[in-house]
Structure formats: structure tokens, C-alpha cells
Amino acid sequence: MVYALPNLTDDSYFITLMIFSGINAIVAIGLCILMGSAGQVSLGQAGFYGIGAYASSVLSQSFGLPVVISMLCAAVISGIAAVILAAPSLRLKGHYLAVATLGFGEIIHIILNEFGPGGPSGFGDIPALSAGGFVLTTPAHVAWVVWGILLLLMIFSLNMLNARPGRALRALHGSETACNAMGLDVVGLKIKVFVLSAVYASIAGSLYAHYVSFISPSSFTLFHSVLLLMMVVLGGITTVWGGLVGAVIITLLPETLKAFEELDVLVYGLILTLSLLFLRRGIVPIVTAKIHSLLVRRNA
């Protein structure tokens, strides 16, 4: 099916940027639901991302499972890890939950370093994405698949947030005590959201590994978790669109700053600081509010 899709551009550098943006966006929208709707912070998302990448790679490379099956198994493994982490962490709030997830992410990083195939050197020759005998060879095909999966997850997330679970989540963000009083299963809900975000991260990790075909623990560090958090905060945590926009911006930004050479880190930091200062609510909520007010004025 993917083969039938048009090649919009031959520039594989641009396409690769789109692939990485899409992969980051998948993690970011999961994080958005967790943070924006359920009010939980995670500094360990790179851990789930890493589990997804490693589990899927090992299953498909060493055990010869089809890539799609490997990715699903990896998602299940990440989900289980999320349950194990969520159960005791749920008693924690704010900074304490943050440090628990941070600890989890770091432990995963150490485990990959110590016991992952290849150790700190990582391992390569990971099979390319494929389904039912079709192997995705060109970046363009991979891009279509990544953005296709992203689209599906977006639709799923938006539907969920607009329906009953979403309302419950927002209530949870508002007041946990009230939720309890209303008879909502707060603990169950929190675990479900946590697992959902972990599964999103895992899928993204698997896509990354099968696309790049080489992974090492250095891609799955606390630094990446913080970067993911930055995407969500910059884009706006109150809507999953924020995660998408933030992910694309944060992925493209360093590429556009190449002209600054050694000063690019500095400029990057300055841009982040200024955006946080002046676009406090996040880019997407601000832009939608602007558009909304324009429309209202026109109608009035």
C-alpha cells in the first residue's frame, strides 16, 4: 500500500527530518495526555522509548520475529514495565513522581548499558520496517508509515479525550479528591494513562530502531526525556496538538541553527528560554486562542 503513495520529494534529508519529527511526536502526544490531561509528570519517557527500541530490535533480529509482531510485543513489554512503575509511584505527586520516573529512566539506561546486546557500543543490522513481505526500503516509505501511525494515534487520542475517559482525566487534573468522592476509579485511571503513554513511547522507539538500524544506550538518556518534556511544554500541554507541534519544532530547530556553528547550543537555549517566557501557555493554545478571537470578532 505504501508503495502506491506518491513520492512528494526526493530530498531524503528532508524526509528523514520528517521521520524523526514524527517519531518524537508520537512520544510527545503520549506525554501530553499524561501531563496535560492527567496532570502527571514523567522524566522517564526515554526509558520506555528505549525499551521499545531494544525489545523490538532483539525480537526481530535474534529471534527472527516479523517486525510488526516484534513492535507489538515491545509495546506489551513497555506496558508491563509501566504498570510495575505506576503501581507504587501513584502515591507520589509533583516532584516526587518526577524523581521516581527519572530513577526509572536512568535504571533502564544502566540496564541497556550493562545487559543490552552490544553494551554501551550498541548494536546494528536491525531489520528494516516490513509487513507481510513488503520491506520499506526508502525513507519516503518509512515517512508515510511513521506519519500514518502518528495520525492514527492522534485520532485515537482526540476521540478518547473528547469522550468519557477524557472527561474523567480532566476531572482528575482538577481535583483528585473530588474524583474520589464522585466514585471515579482514580488509581485505575492513572495506571491506564501511564501505560498508554508508555506504549506510545515504545512504538516510537521501535520505529526509530528499525529505521536507523543501529541503536545504542546513548540515545535513551535522561537528556532525551527532558527534551521530550520540552517539546510538550513548548507546544502546549493542554492539547495533543501541542505535543505534535512541539515535537516538530524541537526536532527541526537544531538543524536550522547549524549556521551558528559552535554558538548553536547557546542560541538554542536562548530560543527555548524566550519561548517559555513569552509563550507560556504553549504555542498551540495561544495560536488557537488568537484564531478564535479573530473569528469571534468577525462574526460579531
Binding site for other proteins (CB under 8 A): 11-14, 16-17, 20, 35, 41, 88-89, 91-96, 98-100, 102-104, 106-107, 110-111, 113-114, 119-122, 124, 139, 208, 212-216, 218-219, 222-223, 226, 229-230, 233, 237, 254-255, 258, 261-270, 272-273, 276-277, 280
Supply the minimum distance, in Å, between the C-beta of residue 221 and other proteins.
9
Q: Left (φ > 0), alpha (ψ -120 to 50) or beta: where does 39 sit?
A: left
Q: Which is nearer to other proteins, 3 or 13 (CB)?
A: 13
* Burial track 204-228 (b if 16+ CB lie within 10 A, e otherwise): bbbbbbbbbeebbbebbbbebbebb
Q: Which is nearer to other proteins, 20 or 54 (CB)?
A: 20
Grid cell listed for 203? 512504538
* Burial track 62-91 (b if 16+ CB lie within 10 A, e otherwise): eeebebeebbbbbbebbbebbeebbeebbe
Supply the minimum distance, in Å, between the C-beta of residue 110 and other proteins.
4
Supply the minimum distance, in Å, between the C-beta of residue 295 and other proteins.
27
* Long-range contacts of 89-97, Cβ-Cβ distance < 8 Å, separation of 24 or more: 90/187, 90/190, 90/191, 94/41, 97/40, 97/41, 97/42
Supply the minimum distance, in Å, between the C-beta of residue 66 and other proteins.
20
Nearest by Cα to 11 from 257, 206, 214, 255: 255
Q: Which is nearer to other proteins, 163 or 274 (CB)?
A: 274
Residue 11 to residue 8: CA distance in whole angstroms = 9
Q: Which is nearer to other proteins, 44 or 73 (CB)?
A: 44
**Strand pairing report for 134-135 and 130-131:** antiparallel
Supply the minimum distance, in Å, between the C-beta of residue 24 and other proteins.
10
Supply the minimum distance, in Å, between the C-beta of residue 40 and other proteins.
11
Q: Which is nearer to other proteins, 63 or 223 (CB)?
A: 223
Please, what is the Cα angle at 152 between 249 and 244, to 5 degrees? 15
Supply the minimum distance, in Å, between the C-beta of residue 205 and other proteins.
12
Supply the minimum distance, in Å, between the C-beta of residue 151 and other proteins.
22
Residue type, 128: A
Q: Which is nearer to other proteins, 18 or 72 (CB)?
A: 18
Q: Which is nearer to other proteins, 270 or 289 (CB)?
A: 270
Grid cell listed for 44? 522517564
Q: Which is nearer to other proteins, 73 or 98 (CB)?
A: 98
